[in-house]
Structure 1
Amino acid sequence: MNKKKIINDPVYGFINIPNELIYDIIDHPFLQRLRRIKQLGLTDYVYPGALHTRFHHALGAMHLMKETLDNLREKGIEIDDDEYTAALLAILLHDIGHAPFSHALEQVLAPGVPHEQISSLIMEELNRQYNGALDLALKMFNSQYERKFFNQLIASQLDIDRLDYLNRDSFFTGVSEGKIGSERIIKLLTVVNNEIIVEEKGIYSIENFLSARRLMYWQVYLHKTTIGVEKMLIQLVSRMRHLIQNGAELHFSPELNSFLSGQFSEEDFKRDKNLLAAYLSLDDYDILYAVKQGLHSGDNVLKQLGEMLLERKLFKVKLQESPFNVGEITSLKEKVSAQLKVNMEEAGFFVSSGEISNAAYLIGGKKIKVLKKSGEIVDVAVASDLPNIKAMRKIVKKFYLSWPKILTL
């Protein structure tokens, strides 16, 4: 069977699968699961086109990594075939540990275990199945490979992950401000002292990249309505957890029930292979099935929240620069209790508060370095003559309060 396939991608056109190992990994049930997890969770409630999946993103990131490595080879950077395949595998699998609805439910289903750790454990399992073929990919994914630039291409402030998701999310949401010149950025990357460096003539493309990222966060990822609908889903699943842990019999998928009935650490995932297998069977459909089952569970909270979510009667979200006071939150819960006919404890599942923050470029993070014509290597914030990069270093923090829009205040 010919495993050198071509996939037609809506963003880049044709994507080549370069060898049999990569084909087999793409075809593996672990990666195929990503077809059933939306890239942007519930963002399609705001931007109806945002129905693309983590699978789309994995293939797109692999394609951009291939383009990057080919470009570096053309510039004389030595990359052997093992490194080439390992880098493609590491970026292909970088999001394989995502929970259903991506970031929205990560801290509800597996609190305290980030998806990056679960991704690493899944890669280790694949490595066992393929007799050590992913050894080098795992080193790169975990930032442990001695040739540092490979690690940077997988996770840094200018990594392949971001180059794909900004363009892809912009394409599917229709938010044109997120579009970046990834092809030009890739052409202007090089390696100096074992690190990824941007040639000086690429600085304006980097400025556009950082600006696009900031705009996409506030227009898409942290959009008020997106926050509201994600908090609604989180409260729904939290209510399911509360009921199951207090002895209720809810007829969800067995795998979802197991995660809602207990709390597991990274060590639990390492020790119990059945736990990882159960996690790998979860996808968006398990959650939607549970939401629908909740309508007939006899629990008034699950019924009302489920109807709100399915009928798009969403939470209203208020944003401000300072934390909301306890009195305002308590007052909202009292109104929920009176109008939705629930007690004060149950009213807490209809009100959510917290903070969100974003900075397009973190000074304390892995710096984006620019190679000047003089040979000097400097931080992009120093190299740029535009003030907006300096402004983008500021961490913007906002506080939110959400409650059912149907309330009469």
Structure 2
Amino acid sequence: MKYNKLKIFNDPIYGFIRIPNDLIFDLIADPYFQRLRRISQMGLSYLVYPGAHHTRFHHALGCMYLMQKAILALRYKAVDISEEEEIGLLCAILLHDIGHGPFSHAMEHSIVKDISHEHISLQFMHELNRKFDGKLTLAIEIFTGKHPKRFLNQLVSSQLDMDRLDYLKRDSFYTGVAEGNTNADRLITMLNVVDGNLVLEEKGIYSVEKFLMARRFMYWQVYLHKTSVVAEQILISILKRARFLLDKNHRLNASSALMYFLLNEVRVDNFDCQVLDQFSKLDDIDILSAVKEWQNSDDFVLSTLCQMLIDRKLLHIKVRKEPITKKKLESKKKKVQQRFGLKNEDEISYFVFTGKLENRAYNRKHQNINILRKNGKIVDVAKLSDHLNLNALSNTVTKYYICYPKEAV
């Protein structure tokens, strides 16, 4: 009896999502992809928004669903997308986030050294291409922007791609932040292709404005929420401290996958198949179980940081428009040193530190959102819009923060 691979997922955002073919089914069933069920989409944001427990697995399926709709909308307007290109697009968008590690962006600064999740996604895609006898070659061409039809890559990775359309709508739903909700159907219906590039028809301009405003709201209210920021910084510090202690022959318990990355410095030039195999075994469970274990460590810094995260008794964070002065930073450090009896500057810096937050809703210099006017002209959305804020959204807004234990200061 032939096994039925045309399954259906019931998604809380879009309803039923159908698996279109055997290749997509087999990709979803692969252990590399199933790992995404154990990778949170929003990292530690659930410490602020309790509903934000959805996963990268959810998101990838949602992106595939929106891509199916985009292909239908473009074909309806006589845009040439072959059956092979359709499969390539669906595979590319399905796998676009497969390289995310546990708690996502925090890992790009601690588990691996300055390696982006896009680079790791591409490594996974090459490995899966070997497994699937070259069936992902076209998907990789689209993902890397090497396909001659530029709009295929723009559907996967641009300022108005299926990735952004899904995560804004999905994260808005699970956090309950209504301002982030966007009309993905309306935007997709307005898509078109001119001279090989993705454009949006003029009648969809107000939907684009709302989309960009929603992105700005979601970054300040959710992704860059000060509590999420300080929680992520604490997690980065925990892993940094664990690595430091292991270098000093201090004994720590952790899963074999996590221990591999703590004991070895992984960089772009040594990220090979062996490293990829170890990375594929790493997920949120490894990190959380280690943090739970390490809160009992005899190292004061490590145990205190872990307890903060487990009990949600985080460092206090103050956000300002101006950079934090050196005088203010040193004053906080001195008080914390006295309160905790810390020995050196390095230990104090785990508890008192500064940083900055940057947010730009629209980048006019890279992968612009172009509007197709009724007269056939192509115009950048920021020039055409009568929305007073859209030009302002093209500027980078920078805020500065300082973190410290409130009880010590």
TM-score when normalising by structure 1 = 0.97
Alignment correspondent of 1:102: 104
Matches within 5 A, 1:184-195: 184-195=186-197
Stretch deviating more after TM superposition (100-109 or 28-37): 100-109
Structure 2 distance, partners of 1:149, 1:331, is: 54
Q: How many residues of Structure 1 are paired with residues of Structure 2 in the alignment?
A: 406
1:316 Cα deviation after fit: 1.1
CA contact (8 A) 1:313 1:405 kept: no
**1:242-263 deviations in whole A, cap 9, x for unaligned?**
1112222211112211211222
**1:207-255 deviations in whole A, cap 9, x for unaligned?**
0000000000000000111111111111111111111122222111122
1:16 Cα deviation after fit: 0.8
Structure 2 distance, partners of 1:307, 1:283, is: 20
Alignment correspondent of 1:135: 137
Alignment correspondent of 1:399: 400
Alignment correspondent of 2:383: 382
Structure 1 distance, partners of 2:46, 2:102, is: 15
Alignment correspondent of 1:317: 317
Structure 1 distance, partners of 2:193, 2:59, is: 25
**Ranges in structure 2 where 5+ consecutive residues have no aligned partner:** none
Q: 2:174 aligns with which of 169, 172, 179?
A: 172
Alignment correspondent of 2:292: 292
Q: 1:152 aligns with which of 145, 151, 154?
A: 154
Query: What is the one-letter code of the residue matched to 1:253?
Result: S
CA contact (8 A) 1:99 1:105 kept: yes
Stretch deviating more after TM superposition (107-116 or 168-177): 107-116
User: Matched residue of 1:350: which SS?
Assistant: coil
CA contact (8 A) 1:37 1:284 kept: yes
Query: What is the one-letter code of the residue matched to 1:5?
Result: K
Alignment pair present for 1:339 and 2:339: yes
Structure 1 distance, partners of 2:187, 2:103, is: 30
Query: What is the one-letter code of the residue matched to 1:364?
Result: K
Query: What is the one-letter code of the residue matched to 1:358?
Result: N
Matches within 5 A, 1:62-73: 62-73=64-75
User: Matched residue of 1:406: which SS?
Assistant: helix
Structure 2 distance, partners of 1:63, 1:341, is: 55
Matches within 5 A, 1:7-406: 7-270=9-272, 273-344=273-344, 345-406=346-407
CA contact (8 A) 1:313 1:406 kept: no
**1:150-201 deviations in whole A, cap 9, x for unaligned?**
0101111111100000000000000000000100000000111111110000
1:372 Cα deviation after fit: 0.4
**1:320-357 deviations in whole A, cap 9, x for unaligned?**
12222223222222222222233233121112311110
Stretch deviating more after TM superposition (93-102 or 254-263): 254-263
Identity of aligned residues (%): 48
Structure 2 distance, partners of 1:328, 1:247, is: 35
Stretch deviating more after TM superposition (328-337 or 50-59): 328-337
User: Matched residue of 1:132: which SS?
Assistant: coil
CA RMSD across the alignment: 1.1
Structure 2 distance, partners of 1:66, 1:348, is: 49
TM-score when normalising by structure 2 = 0.97
**1:253-281 deviations in whole A, cap 9, x for unaligned?**
122112112222222113xx221111111
User: Matched residue of 1:251: which SS?
Assistant: coil
1:382 Cα deviation after fit: 1.3
Structure 2 distance, partners of 1:134, 1:245, is: 41
Structure 2 distance, partners of 1:352, 1:61, is: 37
Structure 1 distance, partners of 2:190, 2:105, is: 32
Structure 2 distance, partners of 1:35, 1:334, is: 44
CA contact (8 A) 1:314 1:405 kept: no
